[in-house]
């Protein structure tokens, strides 16, 4: 039993999830001057980095360079990586409690929200999350089928994920070949018939969730004309009043950009990308063989809700767009973890500033959350640094108050032996680096940043070679 609260105590920390939030939490802990932390990071996949590897768009290579920071964190002698070890299956909460003072969940948001409209289950109706995972080479999604013989695609939602999906459809084969998109997705997208893409927002242009740099990219695509409806990009009266009363540089710039792009002449590029506003899907219409023919939408107007936010409501006007594929991109959602309290309404672990709360709303000592599974799917990669900082501050305060889990066994070798017993295929950070190096070398031969391995068995084979 180890319950001393002294500067000499080495605190064992388990971090479940190896995405940005997990790595930033490790970084904050290592930077703490008062205490020494021994950190074990777990991931159910053999590869680390979560959405940086499997979510960030393959043509956004610069964003992915953040993995160099994570590599540095992983070099700390008090850091171990256990890849291909699944929480709840290979290792359970009770095992972790036996070995660690602090357990941090950083599992992200792995599923998506549904629209609850008729036709959502038709063959060509997909989630953006699965498409993103597919093109990024997520081992669990590589077998997914998307019928890219269709010419027109509707993407519901106008957040940055919708922008990523729209852009991937609009890039030329040559552009895709410069990225680390998975090889099977590259082959399919190169042969795709998709020529027209609609992004559909339920509110107006001022409320669009995409950010200005991402919008700029859409206005400057080599292979696709951006087409906007002049009436739809004009903010309504409520929004205009709001913008007059509240200084909002980003939104004003967004509106300016949309106006600029709307005046660009169509240049007969290969593809057309439409961004539509003030439209909500009400039905996805299919044919006898279960495939999609069209999407039916209702025109919305905006109103100010009692909490001051500007919300959409349906008018009597309906429109129908002929489309063959629909992707809903209306936000990710966290998945509950075995034995960890979950807030079903919000799709996050029940927590306060990262302290995990039991049924009685009291902190369960030693248990913490960070990242999307703590706050929901918002913000950019860097947001997780601040978020993990908040969680780590709670940890440090709680250690000072002697509030942490009191493990029975503190020798790091003990948990490793247990994992070996349960699943001896797990891989460590050095082994992951072999995979990393091999992917980069394979990519270099093709003039690409990397060629990912997408099959678990193959990843394990390269890691252990």
387 binds ligand NAP, rule: CB under 6 A = no
Could you tell me if 350 and 357 are in contact, meaning their C-beta atoms sit under 8 angstroms apart? yes
* Beta-carbon count within 10 A of 458 CB: 13
Residues whose CB is less than 8 angstroms from the CB of residue 37 and which lie 6 or more positions away in sequence, other chains included: 10, 11, 12, 13, 29, 30, 78, 102
Q: Which residue is nearest to ligand NAP (CB)?
A: 159
Q: Which two structure tokens, joined as six digits, stand for 379?
A: 């913000």
Q: Which stretch binds ligand NAP (CB under 6 A): 206-214, 335-343, 421-429, 441-449?
A: 206-214
Q: Which of 180, 196, 214, 439 binds ligand NAP (CB under 6 A)?
A: 214
Among 102, 209, 340, 415, binds ligand NAP (CB under 6 A): 209
Q: Is 239 in the site for ligand NAP (CB under 6 A)?
A: no
**CB neighbours (10 Å) of residue 241?**
12
- Using the rule CB under 6 A, which residue among 19, 48, 119, 331 binds ligand NAP? 331
DSSP string over 217-253: HHHT-SSEEEEE-TTTTS--HHHHHHHHHS--HHHHH
Q: Exactly one of 379, 400, 411, 444 binds ligand NAP (CB under 6 A); which one?
A: 379
CA-wise closest residue to 180 among 456, 366, 365, 448: 448
* CB nearer ligand NAP, residue 126 or residue 202: 202
Residue 377 binds to ligand NAP (criterion: CB under 6 A): yes
What Cα–Cα distance (Å) separates residue 29 from each residue in 18, 24, 96, 385, 397? Answer: 15, 9, 18, 12, 12
Q: Which residues of 75-91 are buried (b: 16+ CB within 10 A; e: fewer)?
A: eeebbbbbbbbebeebb
The answer to whether 332 contacts ligand NAP (rule: CB under 6 A) is yes
Q: State yes or no: residue 156 binds ligand NAP (CB under 6 A).
A: yes
Shortest reach from residue 133's CB to ligand NAP, in Å: 13
Q: How far is CA 378 from CA 135, 305, 372, in A?
A: 22, 22, 7
Q: Rule CB under 6 A: is residue 380 a binding residue for ligand NAP? A: yes
Q: How far is the CB of 209 from ligand NAP (least distance, A)?
A: 4
Phi and psi at residue 382, in whole multiples of 5°?
Answer: -60, -25
Please report whether residue 202 would count as binding ligand NAP according to CB under 6 A: yes
User: Scanning residues 247 to 286, which ones bind ligand NAP (CB under 6 A)?
Assistant: 280
Q: Which of the ranges 22-30, 200-208, 246-254, 392-400 carries the binding residues for ligand NAP, by CB under 6 A?
A: 200-208
User: Measured from the CB of residue 402, what is the shortest distance to ligand NAP in angstroms?
Assistant: 37
Which positions touch ligand NAP (CB under 6 A)? 115, 156-162, 164, 201-203, 207, 209, 214, 280, 329-332, 377-380
């Amino acid at each position: 039993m180890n319950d001393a609260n002294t500067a000499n105590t080495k605190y064992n920390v388990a971090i479940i999830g190896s995405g940005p939030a997990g790595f930033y939490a490790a970084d904050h802990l290592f930077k703490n001057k008062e205490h020494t932390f021994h950190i074990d990071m777990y991931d159910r996949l053999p590869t680390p980095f979560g959405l940086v590897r499997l979510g960030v768009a393959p043509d956004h290579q610069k964003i992915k360079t953040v993995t160099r920071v994570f590599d540095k964190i992983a070099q700390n002698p008090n850091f171990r990586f256990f890849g291909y070890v699944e929480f709840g299956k290979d290792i359970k909460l009770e095992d972790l409690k036996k070995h660690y003072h602090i357990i941090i969940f950083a599992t992200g948001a792995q599923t998506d929200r549904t629209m609850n409209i008729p036709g959502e289950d038709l063959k060509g109706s997909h989630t953006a999350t699965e498409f993103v995972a597919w093109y990024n080479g997520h081992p669990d999604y590589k077998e997914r089928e998307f019928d890219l013989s269709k010419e027109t695609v509707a993407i519901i939602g106008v957040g940055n994920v919708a922008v990523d999906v729209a852009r991937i459809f609009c890039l030329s084969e040559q552009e895709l070949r410069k990225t680390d998109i998975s090889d099977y997705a590259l082959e399919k997208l190169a042969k795709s018939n998709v020529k027209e893409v609609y992004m559909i927002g339920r509110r107006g242009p001022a409320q669009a969730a995409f950010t200005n740099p991402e919008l700029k990219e859409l206005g400057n695509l080599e292979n696709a004309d951006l087409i906007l409806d002049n009436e739809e990009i004009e903010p309504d009266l409520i929004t205009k009043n709001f913008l007059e009363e509240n200084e909002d540089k980003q939104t004003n710039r967004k509106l300016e950009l949309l106006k600029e792009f709307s005046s660009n002449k169509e240049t007969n590029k290969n593809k057309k990308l439409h961004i539509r506003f003030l439209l909500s899907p009400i039905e996805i219409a299919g044919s006898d063989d279960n495939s999609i023919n069209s999407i039916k939408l209702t025109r919305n107007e905006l109103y100010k809700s009692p909490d001051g936010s500007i919300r959409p409501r349906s008018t009597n006007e309906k429109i129908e767009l002929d489309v063959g594929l629909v992707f809903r991109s209306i936000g990710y959602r966290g998945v509950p973890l075995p034995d960890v309290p979950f807030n079903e309404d919000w799709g996050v672990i029940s927590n306060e500033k990262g302290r995990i709360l039991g049924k009685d709303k009291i902190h369960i000592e030693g248990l913490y959350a960070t990242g999307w599974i703590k706050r929901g799917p918002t913000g950019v990669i860097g947001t997780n640094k601040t978020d993990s900082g908040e969680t780590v501050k709670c940890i440090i305060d709680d250690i000072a108050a002697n509030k942490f889990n009191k493990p029975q066994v503190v020798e790091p070798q003990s948990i490793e032996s247990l994992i070996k017993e349960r699943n001896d295929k797990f891989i460590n950070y050095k082994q992951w680096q072999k995979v990393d190096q091999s992917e980069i070398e394979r990519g270099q031969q093709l003039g690409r940043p990397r060629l990912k391995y997408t099959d678990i068995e193959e990843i394990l084979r390269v890691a252990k070679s």
